[in-house]
Amino acid sequence: MTDPTRSATEAADIYDPAAVERKWQARWQEQGTNSPDLAGAPRPYYQLMMFPYPSAEGLHVGNFFAFTGNDIHGRFQRLRGHTVFEPIGFDAFGIHSENYALKMGGHPMELIPRNIVNFRRQLRRGGFMVDWSHELSTTDAAYYKWTQWIFLQLHERGLAYKKRAAVNWCPNDKTVLANEQVEGGKCERCGAVVEQRFLEQWFFRITDYAERLLNNLEWIDWSETTKTAQRNWIGKSEGAEVRFHVLDPELEAGSATARVATGEIEAPASIAVFTTRPDTIFGATWLVLAPEHPLVDALTTDEQRGAVEGYRAAAAKQDIVTRKTHRDKTGVFTGSYALNPATGEPIPVWVADYVLMEYGTGAIMAVPGHDERDFEFARAFDLPVVRVVAGEGEDAHTPLAAPYTENEGGRLVNSRQFDGLSVPEAKRAIVEHLARKRAAKAVVNYRLHDWCISRQRYWGPPIPIIYCDACGTVPVPERDLPVLLPDIEDFRPDDTGVSPLARHDEWYRVPCPRCGAPGRRETDVSDTFLDSAWYFLRYPSTERDDVPFDPTITSKWLPVDSYIGGNEHAVLHLLYARFVTMVLHDAGTLEFEEPFKRFRAHGHIIREGAKMSKTKGNIVNPDSYIDEWGADTFRTYLMFLGPFEEGGDFRESGIKGPRDFLGRLWISATSMRTEGEADPAVLRKLHQTIDRVQTGLERLSFNTAVAAMMEYMNVLRKGERSPHRDEVEPLVQLVAPFAPHLAEELWERFGHERSIFDSGWPAYDAALAAEDTIQLAVQVNGKLRGTIAVPREVTREAALELALAEAPIAKFVPAAPKKVVFVPGRLLNIVV
RNA sequence: GCCCGGGUGGCGAAAUGGUAGACGCGGGGGACUUAAAAUCCCCUGGCCGCGAGGCCAUGUGGGUUCGAGCCCCACCCCGGGCACCA
């Protein structure tokens, strides 16, 4: 027969995650637990998470994983005594939202807020320490007013300019795509094959900042992978610009060569090429110009004109991506020759699409012996190949079956007075030599291009510019911001290449702010990456509508202390945010020039070996797992499943471990004794655990932190008696970042009145953590032969004596040891 | 092709150059139960051995070291990024 009193007590003490979580989420909201006093914070800590795009599907497990790691780190910093600001917002402008609205037949102005409501619900359920009083959405006029202000700041400083440029055109989305939005010749979003078009576009001069963006990577505390990606993206190359004099095509090649070389006659033009291998100039056997190169026309002889023009026309039609990916070398001879300034020999000038106009000077010297592409071209057109660098065991006459592209090793050959020099020596010497003849200078090139921010779309902040026939391009005065995005029914892009906004005269026609004459608005909206390039500046100042960010609050809270996000934003978003910050710094608006002190890239949750994606249909929604297990268990499970910075494979089976761990913690905490003393051995383990959890949280090594707590739990459970309060309470504090609701509930049951997150972090005591007796590993010749229990402070001699007293060890030591290696506290290695 | 990661039990994974496989999942055995679930306890890298114990083992092959999963060289495989950038 069951005892009704007893079972009622038990029922009340059963861990019910749903009830606990509901209670604490409500309590946090009521009491404003997660909304710190930003102005008065004594130890501010800005814990930033990349804000999401509010998709219709809501948060998936991947987002949830990333947010959880971020939240745990933030809660940990708070427990350590910081005032932690953990804001959230929504990156809701852009092609994503617009395409979604088009598909659904709705309007983004209605659909997006609906999605945001769902995101808020999910984020609250997840138990994140979000300060909802500073929520923002990039689509609010109160926000994009300042996005437009940022544009004006750049414009004012000459960093925003307009140019006609070949752009990637997606025929399906009917818009220009950034190079980054093109993947393998196809539109990143819809997969349509991208074409080339020419449009007037707004650009930001990010290339002016290339060197600084590169140099600061030396000192900012970021994931190394992210820094490497940025370095590669900026793509600095040191080399030389070399001038090749063109021979007048009208003159006979042979005689002209001599006369130009002796300075008797002037060459009609010269071609500048960029090379990173000036050391190979004696092997430059022809030149190549990009089809768009401005000198092509002048250099083309009458016989070649037909062929060259045909080639250029074909190249112009080709889309950018095909051109950049096709490998077979094509080209055409212009009919002209230029003088190699090193050899004095005339070499032919070709036009070929493997040379890109937008990099370097749009022209190259071809060195087929030492460049892969030039070698292929030489084969295709039967051009001469000369070896000018010889590697190990090679000499000037060793035939080149393939180009020798070694950039470090090798010595120069067939290069007259430079023969015998190493490649680095030759680089310097040849540039110096040519520089004296004013034929070369050392230069640096970057692969980074200026940032095209124009989008011929509807769903973005209008670029604040007005065109006036009299005044030209006039920026919208700051007092007239924001330029509101009109609520129009027909926002579908068409193939005119002009934003749908142009079709709305009531918006489009506007008086010139300078002279009052009729003007026209810029109809492009700006890139979403501009919205996200400064949102972290806005968060602490969302209540201010008169400034983009409050100077006092900003200098208190920024730069961001910890930024966590996906490495898919390693280049674009993170580079743009740095750029905008630098510009504002130079403008005197910000004190700092790097926005994020510390950045860590989180890994990704995959499912059945594949990235979660809508197309693969393997997206996991966190809601059902929270329903079934509770947010605390789900959070702990996600963090336990693999290293945070690497991600892991999501499978439901493993969730039981963390669930049991939290269940056992609940039991220990609700059944602990308060009288008597804590077990010193348990306390020792506790302090070892504090150390491990603390280090784990600092390093975002959440999986090992959870493991350490589980180990401690196993020790607690082993005890004969129920655990003592002093053994359990600190564990609840350690687990709090992972399972905040459970921790709050237990903390309250312990009799505390304030939130556990204001209780401080358990102090680690190394003396308490130290073991008196340790297991010393004993090796013979590096092979483990046993362990001996010894006092912590054991000496080498004492340890050796104890080890040799053990028969199973001694039998491997037939004679006097040759050498004894002793690592205090770890091992003894006897070498015989 | 280039640049980053990574390769450890059946699985997810630990491991400042110092006892490889902590922690967890799964599996096996047991306790409790009429039974099941839940819970709890024990075992669980491979091979040999009754056992004590031994041998092998961190993608492959070399090297450095008293000692290598970790460092160096060469290579293979997987994941991601960039890619005609001269």
Its ipTM equals 0.94
Looking at every residue in chain A, the average pLDDT score rounds to: 88
Whole-number Å distance, CA A601 to C1' B49? 51
Reported confidence tier of residue A72, pLDDT bands at 50, 70, 90: very high
Q: Average pLDDT in the A207-211 region?
A: 93
> pLDDT for A414-429, tens place per residue?
999 999 998 888 999 9
Whole-number Å distance, CA A633 to C1' B40? 22
CA distance A464 to A510: 12
> pLDDT for A221-255, tens place per residue?
998 889 989 998 999 999 999 999 988 655 544 45
Q: Average pLDDT in the A400-411 region?
A: 82
Q: Average pLDDT in the A757-767 region?
A: 93
A331 touches strand B (CB under 7 A): no
Which residues are CB-contacts of A797 (< 8 A; sequence separation ≥ 6)?
none
A717 touches strand B (CB under 7 A): yes
Reported confidence tier of residue A763, pLDDT bands at 50, 70, 90: very high
**pLDDT of the residue at A774:** 85
Q: pLDDT higher for A5 or A135?
A: A135
A699 touches strand B (CB under 7 A): no
pLDDT over threshold 80, residue A173: no
Kind and range of the H or E run holding A489: none
Percent of chain A with pLDDT over 90: 59
**Which nt sits closest to A713, CA to C1'?**
B23
**pLDDT of the residue at A321:** 57
Whole-number Å distance, CA A381 to C1' B74? 37
Reported confidence tier of residue A2, pLDDT bands at 50, 70, 90: very low
Reported confidence tier of residue A164, pLDDT bands at 50, 70, 90: confident
Percent of chain A with pLDDT over 70: 92
pLDDT over threshold 70, residue A389: yes
> pLDDT for A138-148, tens place per residue?
999 999 999 99
**pLDDT of the residue at A258:** 54
CA distance A558 to A74: 16
What are the tokens at A800? 């050796």
**pLDDT of the residue at A157:** 96
Question: Strand B and chain A: which residues 720-759 have CB closer than 7 Å?
Answer: none
pLDDT over threshold 50, residue A6: no
Angle at A65 between CA A59 and CA A68, to 5 degrees: 100
What are the tokens at A290? 């990009």
**pLDDT of the residue at A1:** 29
Kind and range of the H or E run holding A334: strand A332-339
Closest CA to A123 of A68, A74, A79: A68
Whole-number Å distance, CA A496 to C1' B63? 66
**Which nt sits closest to A653, CA to C1'?**
B25
**Which nt sits closest to A354, CA to C1'?**
B84
Question: Strand B and chain A: which residues 506-565 have CB closer than 7 Å?
Answer: none
Q: In angstroms, what CA-CA distances link A7 with A67, A665, A772?
A: 39, 20, 44
Reported confidence tier of residue A170, pLDDT bands at 50, 70, 90: confident
**Which nt sits closest to A225, CA to C1'?**
B4
**Which nt sits closest to A827, CA to C1'?**
B18
**pLDDT of the residue at A505:** 86
Reported confidence tier of residue A213, pLDDT bands at 50, 70, 90: very high
Q: Average pLDDT in the A98-112 region?
A: 88
pLDDT over threshold 70, residue A10: no
Of A319-333, A543-557, A687-701, which gets the smallest average pLDDT? A319-333
> pLDDT for A471-516, tens place per residue?
999 999 999 989 999 988 888 877 777 788 888 888 999 999 999 9
The two beta strands, A89-90 and A83-85, are: unpaired
**Which nt sits closest to A825, CA to C1'?**
B18
Q: Which amino acid is at A486?
A: P
Whole-number Å distance, CA A228 to C1' B63? 30
pLDDT over threshold 90, residue A179: no
**Which nt sits closest to A828, CA to C1'?**
B18
**Which nt sits closest to A610, CA to C1'?**
B79
> pLDDT for A28-60, tens place per residue?
999 999 999 999 999 999 999 999 999 888 998
Whole-number Å distance, CA A729 to C1' B2? 54
**pLDDT of the residue at A792:** 84
**pLDDT of the residue at A123:** 95
Question: Strand B and chain A: which residues 663-682 have CB closer than 7 Å?
Answer: 663-664
Whole-number Å distance, CA A832 to C1' B64? 20
Whole-number Å distance, CA A707 to C1' B21? 14
**3-state secondary structure string across A604-659:** EEEECCEECCCCCCCCCCHHHHHHHHCHHHHHHHHHHCCCCCCEEECCHHHHHHHH
pLDDT over threshold 70, residue A388: yes
Reported confidence tier of residue A275, pLDDT bands at 50, 70, 90: very high
Question: Strand B and chain A: which residues 795-814 have CB closer than 7 Å?
Answer: 808
pLDDT over threshold 90, residue A568: no
Whole-number Å distance, CA A722 to C1' B84? 71
**pLDDT of the residue at A650:** 85
Bases in strand B with any atom closer than 7 Å to a protein CB:
3-6, 12-16, 18-20, 22-26, 39-41, 53-55, 66-68, 80-86
Whole-number Å distance, CA A652 to C1' B24? 13
Question: Strand B and chain A: which residues 613-642 have CB closer than 7 Å?
Answer: 640-642
Closest CA to A770 of A827, A687, A713: A687
Question: Strand B and chain A: which residues 288-307 have CB closer than 7 Å?
Answer: 290
CA distance A6 to A4: 5
CA distance A388 to A277: 11
Whole-number Å distance, CA A69 to C1' B14? 19
Whole-number Å distance, CA A642 to C1' B75? 29
**pLDDT of the residue at A413:** 92
pLDDT over threshold 70, residue A9: no
Q: Average pLDDT in the A387-400 region?
A: 85
pTM for the whole structure:
0.91
Percent helix, strand and coil across chain A, each rounded to 5?
40, 20, 40
**Which nt sits closest to A651, CA to C1'?**
B12
Question: Strand B and chain A: which residues 245-264 have CB closer than 7 Å?
Answer: none
Residue nearest to nucleotide B4 (CA to C1'): A225
Q: In what order do the strands lie in the sheet with A472-475?
A: A472-475, A465-468, A518-521, A509-511
> pLDDT for A345-383, tens place per residue?
999 999 999 999 889 999 999 999 999 899 999 999 999
Whole-number Å distance, CA A643 to C1' B70? 18
Whole-number Å distance, CA A295 to C1' B40? 86
Q: Which amino acid is at A291?
A: P
**Which nt sits closest to A708, CA to C1'?**
B23
**Which nt sits closest to A328, CA to C1'?**
B84
A228 touches strand B (CB under 7 A): yes
Whole-number Å distance, CA A306 to C1' B82? 37
Q: Of the ranges A48-52, A435-439, A604-608, which is most confident?
A: A48-52
pLDDT over threshold 50, residue A796: yes
A566 touches strand B (CB under 7 A): no
**pLDDT of the residue at A7:** 35
pLDDT over threshold 80, residue A267: no
Residue nearest to nucleotide B40 (CA to C1'): A717
pLDDT over threshold 60, residue A702: yes
Q: In angstroms, what CA-CA distances link A254 with A128, A284, A335?
A: 79, 19, 14
**Which nt sits closest to A717, CA to C1'?**
B40
- DSSP conformation letters of A669-685: HHH-B-SS---HHHHHH
What are the tokens at A143? 């926000």
Reported confidence tier of residue A14, pLDDT bands at 50, 70, 90: confident
Q: Average pLDDT in the A67-87 region?
A: 97
What are the tokens at A174? 């009917």
pLDDT over threshold 70, residue A808: yes
